[in-house]
Amino acid sequence: MESLLNNFPVVIEIPVAWGEMDAFQHVNNTVYFRYFEDVRIAYFDKLKFMESMQKTGVGPILSHIQCRFRAPVTFPDTLSVGTKITQIEEDRFIMSYRIVSHKLQKLVADGDSIIVVYDYQQQKKAAIPEEILKKILLLEDGKEVES
């Protein structure tokens, strides 16, 4: 099961909550986007992206997201949710996600998103800050990012 997340530098574990299930007796499709958000924020925490944004006004904004549902998840279960950056451009990057069920021992969902770097003060796209880009490259290369 761990091999499914080998190339993902940030992986978190999330217990499935009873209230995440819907009338069809599996986790509702909208919840998977929250799982993606949780791991995306964990990745940004490693980069100190939010702290950088506090100083500069330049930070991430979600432009697009999609999910492929591979198997239904039910309570009780624990999920390993991983993310990595698969493509970088001047003002954006693509994050890929994978969700693995501990109970089912397999991939249950995957997806990707486009994150645009945005200057919240000037309300327009911006280049990825150099310090953030360096940290992304280190993290994706399997190295520790300085605190």
Paired residues of 87 in beta bridges: 94
Q: What mean pLDDT is reported for the chain?
A: 96
Q: What is the pLDDT of residues 73-121, one digit of tens each?
A: 999 999 999 999 999 999 999 999 999 999 999 999 999 999 999 999 9
Of the chain, the percentage scoring pLDDT greater than 90 comes to 95
Binned at pLDDT 50, 70 and 90, residue 145 comes out as: confident
| Cβ–Cβ < 8 Å for 46, 143 | no
Amino acid at the residue 79: L
What is the rounded distance in angstroms from the CA atom of residue 69 to the CA atom of residue 124? 33
d(CA 130, CA 56): 12
Number of helices (H), then strands (E), belonging to the chain: the values are 3, 6
This prediction's pTM = 0.96
pLDDT value at residue 147: 62
